[in-house]
A and B are shown apart, each in its own frame.
Chain A
Amino acid sequence: MTCEECRDDIAPFAAGDLPPTRSDEIARHIEECAQCRRELDEELALRRVVHNAAIPFRDSVRRGESAAERRLGAGEPEAPRVRFTRRRRTQAIAAGALAALAAFVALVFLRPRGNEIESISAWAVDHYPLVDQTHQIHGNADDVRLWFRTHHGIDIIPPRDADYTSLTGCKMTDMGEDPVPLLRFDANVTTAVFILPARLEPTLRGAEVRGLRRGDFVIDVWSEGPGEFLRITREKNGS
């Protein structure tokens, strides 16, 4: 055995962590080699010193492990995993399909009639950053409310006593014969509330909100009559 080989194994030898045959070889070499014996003495001294000096370190490790586990909830039992059996999955799919069918029936057959104005515009989610859900127009000729859902998923429904007379930051282009009398936008441009002129009421067919960029948008309101068309544009950088 060379001194180099011996010194490579001095640490596990000192720790008593070598297979017996290898340990015997090292012991024989050390008996004959003063330099390797000195190396072993140094290793044993190092181990003694580190053993004593590292007591607070080991205590700290134990304390830290417990504290971290407690703080992060690592000691809590695992939440049971929900495993869907094939039967459960089929049941869930069937329930979902039934719910969708019920919603469709309600939409088609139970929607309000008469003066109620129906939901009028499908919303192209990908193209309009301001709004990510279909907006709706509801009400009657005296109180038409348009609301839509912002990209935060918040439904904005204007209060009934809202001030309908201001039109901040918006430009209105009346493309019909009469100006629209009452209109309001809120400061965050998430809500549009307006009362349509009486002449539009019986033939109102639709409104569409198009977000051009966040904060800028166009609302088109139209009716069946020729030229009965109103365009409301959010001014760029408007308040």
Chain B
Amino acid sequence: MSSGRENDARGAGREEISVLASRWRAGEHSALREVIRRFQAPLLSYAMSLLGSLNDAEDVVQETWIRAHGGIRDLRDPSGLWAWLRRIAHNAAMDAAKRARRHEAPEDPSALEIQAAHQARVGGENGTDEGTITLGAIIAAIENLPETYREAAVYHYLQEWPHADIAVALGISEEAARQRVSRAGRLLRSALRQAREEECHDL
């Protein structure tokens, strides 16, 4: 990771979340920047687990930021910033899903067959090819982790941040960050192993 990004991540973690949220609410641009840099990846991961498509998730996260920025004054408990952002992302994702359903063309059985054949050939974004783990499967496994390990897994496996940066971002010691990543890794390996076994079983 570049030193610039490391510094950003450290900057985001230096302050308690509640202080960061309060500064954002007070209109400080630097606080907003820090919040975006800290939560962009976890929000994207969450949105993708809901929608299954990286492009759709990207749009939903943008929508989340716009809604959150417009409603930051409604945030009653600044320490609950992450839960609040996640809720907004959830609502935005649900709205996007509704819009998509509305614009969906009437289902043509022959088109569905073609689509199914294509999925079988290339593997869906959520599925797992034989011996290959897709981004969708990884994100599904991460989002299924207990909350304590989820952010650590996003930062470590998806973003490839070093433990020192994760520690700062999560406001915990480096040793605690290492333990969370270790635990998240064990759970992830187990989940993905299970997914692979189920896949083999189905075949």
Say if the beta carbon of A32 comes within 8 Å of chain B: no
Please classify how large the interface on chain B is, using the bins under 10, 10 to 19, 20 to 34, 35 or more. 35 or more
Say if the beta carbon of A110 comes within 8 Å of chain B: no
A-B contact count (CB 8 A): 116
CB nearest neighbor in B for A22 = B178
Partner pick for B33 among A8, A63, A75, CB 8 A cutoff: A75
Please indicate the chain A residues that have their CB under 8 angstroms from the CB of B11 in the complex: none
In the assembled complex, the CB of B177 is this many whole angstroms from the nearest CB of chain A, namely 9
Partner pick for B66 among A9, A54, A58, A72, CB 8 A cutoff: A72
Please indicate the chain B residues that have their CB under 8 angstroms from the CB of A39 in the complex: 189
Please indicate the chain A residues that have their CB under 8 angstroms from the CB of B82 in the complex: none
Given A56-B54, A65-B40, A72-B65, A49:B186 Cβ within 8 A = no
Please indicate the chain B residues that have their CB under 8 angstroms from the CB of A57 in the complex: 41, 44-45, 48, 54, 135, 139, 158
By the criterion CB–CB under 8 Å, are A60 and B54 in contact?
A: yes
By the criterion CB–CB under 8 Å, are B157 and A64 in contact?
A: no
By the criterion CB–CB under 8 Å, are A69 and B36 in contact?
A: yes
Q: Measured between alpha carbons, how far is A77 from B179 in the docked complex, in Å? A: 38
Say if the beta carbon of A27 comes within 8 Å of chain B: no
Please indicate the chain B residues that have their CB under 8 angstroms from the CB of A17 in the complex: 162-163, 178
Interface of A, helix, strand, loop or mixed by DSSP: helix
By the criterion CB–CB under 8 Å, are B193 and A42 in contact?
A: yes
Please indicate the chain A residues that have their CB under 8 angstroms from the CB of B48 in the complex: 57
Please indicate the chain A residues that have their CB under 8 angstroms from the CB of B133 in the complex: 46, 49-50, 53
Chain A count of residues within 8 A CB distance of the other chain: 38
By the criterion CB–CB under 8 Å, are A68 and B40 in contact?
A: yes
Q: Measured between alpha carbons, how far is A76 from B139 in the docked complex, in Å? A: 33
Q: Which residues of A pack against B, CB within 8 Å?
A: 7-12, 15, 17-18, 39, 42-43, 46-47, 49-51, 53-54, 56-58, 60-61, 63-65, 67-69, 71-78
Q: With A8-B179, A42-B189, A57-B48 given, name 7 new contacts (CB 8 A).
A: A8-B183, A10-B182, A46-B189, A51-B160, A58-B160, A65-B36, A78-B29
Q: Which residues of B pack against A, CB within 8 Å?
A: 28-30, 32-33, 36-37, 40-41, 44-45, 48, 54, 57-58, 61-62, 65-66, 69, 132-135, 138-139, 156-160, 162-163, 178-179, 181-186, 188-189, 192-193
